Structures are given as structure tokens and as C-alpha cells.
Amino acid sequence: MTAKKHISISLFGALKEDLGGKSQMQFQLTEGTTSISVKELLETLVLLYPEVKYLPVCKVAANLDVVTDDSMIKAGDELVLMPPFAGG
């Protein structure tokens, strides 16, 4: 079985809309790596999509927990990118 080399990312709200309207995207890990920190992943996405204004301020959830910048995300993990909350 081939090892997964990508991270699945679910998108909500303005981020979903600004990243093409799809509720999911995949982040390909660099060849030879199996994990990446949340900070590195967000920095890479900001470079790839500089026009998406909520990327630098979004919160990230993994496995139903909000995670911090230094959390490590492994290939096969499912992430959720969340723009600033606005309930109520």
C-alpha cells in the first residue's frame, strides 16, 4: 500500500468561497516528508494564495480540536481551516 503524502483540508465560510468554492482541498507534502507544522502549512498556503485575506488569521482544527501553530500535522490527517467566527 502506498503511504499517503497529502493532508485533507476542509474549508468553511469566506475561506471556502475564496479558495474556489469547494468544501475540501488537498495539501501535498514535500517529497520525503511525512508531517508539517500548522505554522509552516499556513505560511505555504499564504504564499500559494496571497489574495485570500482570511488565510493569515484563520484558526485550524484537527480531530475536533482547535490546534496551535506548533502542532504537527501528519500525512493522512484531516484539517479544518476556519475564518474568524461570526455566530449570533
Partner 1 sequence: MERLIEIVDGSPLDLMTYHTFLQHVESGATTTFLGSVRDKNEGKSVSLLRFEAYEALAIKEMRRLADEAAAKWAIHKLVMVHATGDKVLGDPVVFIGVSTKHRAAAFEACRFLIDELKKQVPIWKKEFYANGSSWINAHP
Q: Which of 7, 12, 18 is nearest to 41 (CA)?
A: 7
Binding-site member from 4, 5, 8, 13 for partner 1 (CB under 8 A): 13
Stretch that binds partner 1, among 1-9, 30-38, 44-52, 60-68 (CB under 8 A): 60-68
Q: Is residue 12 part of the contact set for partner 1 (CB under 8 A)?
A: yes
Q: Toward partner 1, which CB reaches closer, 32 or 87?
A: 87
Taking the C-alpha atoms of residue 18 and residue 1, their distance in angstroms, rounded to an integer, is: 35
Pairing of strands 35-37, 59-62: unpaired
Amino acid at 86: A
Q: Is residue 38 part of the contact set for partner 1 (CB under 8 A)?
A: no
Stretch that binds partner 1, among 1-9, 28-36, 37-45, 75-83 (CB under 8 A): 75-83
Where do contacts with partner 1 occur on this chain (CB under 8 A)?
A: 10, 12-14, 17, 54, 59, 61, 64, 66, 80, 82-88
